[in-house]
Amino acid sequence: MDLGLKDTVVLVTGGSKGIGLACAQGFVAEGARVAIASREAAHLAAAEATLRAAGAEVFSVVADLADPAQAQAMAAAVQARLGPIGVLVNSAGAARRTPPAELSAAHWQAAMLAKYFTAIHAIDAVLPGMAQRGAGAIVNIVGTGGKFATATHLPGGAANAALMLASAGLGNAYAAQGVRVNAVNPGLTATTRMQEGLEAEARASGKSVDEMLQLRLKALPMGRICTPQDVADVVVFLASKRAAYVNGAILSVDGAALPMVV
């Protein structure tokens, strides 16, 4: 199936590892012109090496998206190099998981900055241009913690919930201008963030990290952890012309772990 992404300029924030890198690989496979962004130059260099080893060219930008000025500079650099951005995938930012007894006001503020505002700043940098051109797709990679509260992920879950609402609202607000905004909620996914979450849960419960992992695995209906590729396949489709009438949607990619009607 042709997804209609050939030569589309795609910017993936948090594109140097995990789900973001898998998304970059997926868009490259569809013939898109891909840029990736991250705070860490070393991570970007490693990602570039991985992509180029597979025969792909990629443009990378170092940017801390907690700073709106750096988000604007990132978008400007990508457009100067590759042309107008047709697709934005927000995979940057993750709130630290913290047992509830350890929470302070700083944790709540940090979570909003790390997860919500990193996406909002990137959106602000590309959305006006998309609206002016009458076309564009934004996919925000969020997380099921915004729908189902867990004790060790309360600040991050609150930020996720805010980002889901912003995604649905922006999709509605900009639909008439040809811009689609959707969100994807991965479940437990095999990334470094999963390990951090298991460590926080272990501290809160008094169990070992391996015990927590086995408990989580036992609760997964499909019997396995989600992979970054599982999420990337959905993201690439949502960004494509084959999803032209999908807008303002919040899609779970959790293997039916949270059987909810929404």
Strand order in the sheet with 9-13: 58-62, 33-38, 9-13, 87-90, 136-141, 179-186, 250-253
Q: Are 196 and 233 in contact (CB under 8 A)?
A: no
Per-residue pLDDT tens over the stretch 223-240: 888 999 999 999 999 999
Q: Is residue 210 part of a domain?
A: no
Average pLDDT over residues 47-72: 94
User: What distance in Å separates the CA atoms of residue 150 and residue 67, rounded to the nearest whole number?
Assistant: 28
Q: Is residue 193 part of a domain?
A: no
Q: Is residue 142 part of a domain?
A: yes
Q: Is residue 237 part of a domain?
A: yes
pLDDT value of residue 262: 62
By residue range, what is the domain housing residue 64?
9-186+227-250
Q: Are 1 and 230 in contact (CB under 8 A)?
A: no
Whether the predicted pLDDT of 192 surpasses 80: no
Per-residue pLDDT tens over the stretch 60-109: 999 999 999 999 999 999 999 999 999 999 999 888 888 899 999 999 99
Whether the predicted pLDDT of 35 surpasses 90: yes
Q: Is residue 110 part of a domain?
A: yes
Percent of the chain with pLDDT over 90: 73
Q: Is residue 171 part of a domain?
A: yes
Q: Is residue 235 part of a domain?
A: yes
Count: domains in the chain: 1
What CATH number does residue 26 fall under? 3.40.50.720
Per-residue pLDDT tens over the stretch 110-131: 999 999 999 999 999 999 999 9
What is the tally of helices (H) and strands (E) in the chain?
A: 9, 7
